[in-house]
Structure 1
Amino acid sequence: MAGRAARWGVALALGGLWWWGMLRLVLAPDAGVLEGAVVTGGWGLSLLPVHCVPKARGEGAAGPRRWPGAWPRWRSARGRGRPSG
Protein backbone atom coordinates (compact mmCIF):
# COMPACT_ATOMS: atom_id res chain seq x y z
CA MET A 1 0.00 0.00 0.00
CA ALA A 2 2.82 2.40 0.83
CA GLY A 3 4.46 1.72 -2.54
CA ARG A 4 1.26 2.58 -4.37
CA ALA A 5 0.89 5.84 -2.44
CA ALA A 6 4.52 6.73 -3.16
CA ARG A 7 4.03 6.10 -6.90
CA TRP A 8 0.94 8.29 -6.94
CA GLY A 9 2.78 11.00 -5.02
CA VAL A 10 5.69 10.96 -7.47
CA ALA A 11 3.32 10.96 -10.46
CA LEU A 12 1.35 13.92 -9.06
CA ALA A 13 4.52 15.84 -8.21
CA LEU A 14 6.00 15.33 -11.69
CA GLY A 15 2.67 16.18 -13.30
CA GLY A 16 2.48 19.36 -11.24
CA LEU A 17 6.03 20.26 -12.24
CA TRP A 18 5.15 19.76 -15.91
CA TRP A 19 2.05 21.95 -15.62
CA TRP A 20 4.08 24.61 -13.83
CA GLY A 21 6.56 24.65 -16.71
CA MET A 22 3.80 24.74 -19.33
CA LEU A 23 1.90 27.56 -17.66
CA ARG A 24 5.11 29.56 -17.17
CA LEU A 25 5.95 29.16 -20.87
CA VAL A 26 2.50 30.30 -21.94
CA LEU A 27 1.78 33.03 -19.40
CA ALA A 28 5.07 34.45 -18.12
CA PRO A 29 7.08 36.77 -20.33
CA ASP A 30 10.32 35.88 -18.52
CA ALA A 31 10.02 32.08 -18.93
CA GLY A 32 13.12 30.51 -20.33
CA VAL A 33 15.21 27.43 -20.82
CA LEU A 34 14.36 25.75 -17.52
CA GLU A 35 10.63 25.74 -18.20
CA GLY A 36 11.19 24.64 -21.77
CA ALA A 37 13.37 21.75 -20.64
CA VAL A 38 10.78 20.62 -18.08
CA VAL A 39 7.97 20.71 -20.64
CA THR A 40 10.00 19.03 -23.38
CA GLY A 41 11.26 16.34 -21.02
CA GLY A 42 7.76 15.54 -19.81
CA TRP A 43 6.46 15.37 -23.36
CA GLY A 44 9.34 13.10 -24.36
CA LEU A 45 8.64 10.74 -21.46
CA SER A 46 5.04 10.43 -22.60
CA LEU A 47 6.26 8.92 -25.85
CA LEU A 48 8.04 6.00 -24.20
CA PRO A 49 6.40 2.64 -24.89
CA VAL A 50 5.93 1.75 -21.23
CA HIS A 51 3.18 -0.77 -21.89
CA CYS A 52 5.28 -3.03 -24.11
CA VAL A 53 6.30 -6.54 -23.10
CA PRO A 54 9.26 -8.60 -24.31
CA LYS A 55 8.56 -10.42 -27.57
CA ALA A 56 8.80 -13.82 -25.89
CA ARG A 57 6.03 -12.94 -23.43
CA GLY A 58 3.69 -11.24 -25.91
CA GLU A 59 0.34 -12.88 -26.57
CA GLY A 60 0.42 -14.59 -29.95
CA ALA A 61 4.04 -13.60 -30.57
CA ALA A 62 6.00 -15.65 -33.07
CA GLY A 63 9.27 -16.94 -31.66
CA PRO A 64 12.56 -16.48 -33.53
CA ARG A 65 12.23 -19.91 -35.16
CA ARG A 66 8.73 -19.18 -36.43
CA TRP A 67 9.51 -15.84 -38.13
CA PRO A 68 10.62 -17.26 -41.51
CA GLY A 69 7.19 -18.86 -41.98
CA ALA A 70 5.08 -16.27 -40.16
CA TRP A 71 6.26 -13.20 -42.06
CA PRO A 72 5.22 -14.29 -45.60
CA ARG A 73 1.84 -15.47 -44.32
CA TRP A 74 1.26 -12.12 -42.60
CA ARG A 75 2.20 -10.17 -45.74
CA SER A 76 -0.06 -12.24 -48.00
CA ALA A 77 -2.96 -12.00 -45.52
CA ARG A 78 -2.65 -8.22 -45.60
CA GLY A 79 -2.40 -8.09 -49.38
CA ARG A 80 1.19 -6.83 -49.30
CA GLY A 81 3.00 -9.70 -50.94
CA ARG A 82 2.78 -12.61 -53.25
CA PRO A 83 0.13 -15.15 -52.33
CA SER A 84 1.60 -18.19 -50.65
CA GLY A 85 1.14 -21.54 -52.24
Structure 2
Amino acid sequence: MVRRRVPPVTLALIAIGLVAGGLWWWAVLRLLLVPGEAGPVEGAVAAGGWGLSLLPVHVAASSRRPGASARSVTKASRRRRWGAGSAPS
Protein backbone atom coordinates (compact mmCIF):
# COMPACT_ATOMS: atom_id res chain seq x y z
CA MET A 1 0.00 0.00 0.00
CA VAL A 2 1.34 3.40 -0.97
CA ARG A 3 1.02 6.18 1.58
CA ARG A 4 0.83 9.68 0.16
CA ARG A 5 1.56 12.79 2.16
CA VAL A 6 -1.16 15.39 2.23
CA PRO A 7 0.21 18.94 1.96
CA PRO A 8 -0.25 21.05 5.12
CA VAL A 9 -2.16 23.68 3.12
CA THR A 10 -4.75 21.08 2.13
CA LEU A 11 -5.12 19.95 5.74
CA ALA A 12 -5.54 23.57 6.86
CA LEU A 13 -8.24 24.21 4.23
CA ILE A 14 -10.10 21.07 5.26
CA ALA A 15 -9.92 22.13 8.92
CA ILE A 16 -11.19 25.63 8.10
CA GLY A 17 -14.04 24.15 6.08
CA LEU A 18 -15.04 21.81 8.91
CA VAL A 19 -14.95 24.63 11.48
CA ALA A 20 -17.00 26.93 9.22
CA GLY A 21 -19.52 24.16 8.57
CA GLY A 22 -19.77 23.45 12.29
CA LEU A 23 -20.37 27.11 13.05
CA TRP A 24 -23.09 27.28 10.39
CA TRP A 25 -24.88 24.21 11.76
CA TRP A 26 -24.60 25.62 15.29
CA ALA A 27 -26.22 28.88 14.14
CA VAL A 28 -29.00 27.15 12.21
CA LEU A 29 -29.84 24.74 15.02
CA ARG A 30 -29.80 27.57 17.56
CA LEU A 31 -32.19 29.59 15.40
CA LEU A 32 -34.50 26.59 15.02
CA LEU A 33 -34.42 25.27 18.59
CA VAL A 34 -34.25 28.46 20.69
CA PRO A 35 -35.22 31.37 18.43
CA GLY A 36 -35.87 33.69 21.39
CA GLU A 37 -32.28 33.44 22.63
CA ALA A 38 -30.58 33.52 19.22
CA GLY A 39 -29.06 36.85 18.35
CA PRO A 40 -28.07 38.70 15.19
CA VAL A 41 -24.74 36.85 14.98
CA GLU A 42 -26.49 33.50 14.56
CA GLY A 43 -28.81 35.01 11.96
CA ALA A 44 -25.91 36.51 10.03
CA VAL A 45 -23.92 33.26 10.09
CA ALA A 46 -26.93 31.20 8.98
CA ALA A 47 -27.91 33.63 6.22
CA GLY A 48 -24.32 33.99 5.02
CA GLY A 49 -23.79 30.24 4.83
CA TRP A 50 -27.07 29.77 3.00
CA GLY A 51 -26.11 32.50 0.53
CA LEU A 52 -22.72 30.88 -0.07
CA SER A 53 -24.41 27.55 -0.76
CA LEU A 54 -26.23 29.18 -3.69
CA LEU A 55 -23.08 30.68 -5.18
CA PRO A 56 -21.89 27.69 -7.24
CA VAL A 57 -25.29 27.43 -8.94
CA HIS A 58 -25.12 31.00 -10.23
CA VAL A 59 -21.41 31.02 -11.03
CA ALA A 60 -21.34 27.73 -12.94
CA ALA A 61 -19.91 27.85 -16.43
CA SER A 62 -22.21 27.63 -19.39
CA SER A 63 -22.53 24.21 -21.02
CA ARG A 64 -22.74 25.76 -24.51
CA ARG A 65 -19.80 25.51 -26.84
CA PRO A 66 -17.79 28.71 -27.11
CA GLY A 67 -18.80 30.56 -30.23
CA ALA A 68 -22.09 28.70 -30.70
CA SER A 69 -24.29 31.76 -30.30
CA ALA A 70 -21.94 34.53 -29.19
CA ARG A 71 -18.33 34.96 -30.25
CA SER A 72 -15.82 34.95 -27.41
CA VAL A 73 -12.96 37.43 -27.28
CA THR A 74 -10.32 34.84 -26.46
CA LYS A 75 -10.05 31.12 -26.99
CA ALA A 76 -8.15 28.74 -24.77
CA SER A 77 -5.85 26.37 -26.59
CA ARG A 78 -5.97 22.70 -25.75
CA ARG A 79 -2.91 21.11 -24.26
CA ARG A 80 -1.28 18.46 -26.39
CA ARG A 81 -1.15 14.99 -24.94
CA TRP A 82 1.97 12.97 -25.46
CA GLY A 83 1.51 10.25 -28.02
CA ALA A 84 -1.86 11.53 -29.16
CA GLY A 85 -0.61 12.75 -32.52
CA SER A 86 -1.26 16.12 -34.01
CA ALA A 87 -4.50 18.01 -33.53
CA PRO A 88 -6.72 18.63 -36.58
CA SER A 89 -6.16 22.02 -38.18
Asked if these proteins are the same fold (TM beyond 0.5), I'd say yes
- TM-score (normalised: structure 1): 0.60
- TM-score (normalised: structure 2): 0.57
Give CA deviations for 1:23-48 in whole Å, capped at 9, x if unaligned.
11112231121111110000000001
Structure 2, unaligned runs of 5 or more: 1-6, 71-89
What is the CA distance between 1:6 and its match in structure 2? 0.9
Separation in structure 1 between the aligned mates of residue 44 and residue 9 of structure 2, nearest angstrom: 28
For the pair 1:27 / 2:33, whether they are aligned, the reply is: yes
Question: When the two structures are aligned, how many residues end up with a matched partner?
Answer: 62
Larger relative contact order, structure 1 or 2 (CA cutoff 8 Å, min sep 6): 2
Give the fraction of aligned pairs with identical amino acids, expressed as a percent.
47
Greater mean alpha carbon deviation, residues 27-36 or residues 44-53:
44-53
Structure 1, unaligned runs of 5 or more: 69-85
SS in 2 for 1:48: helix
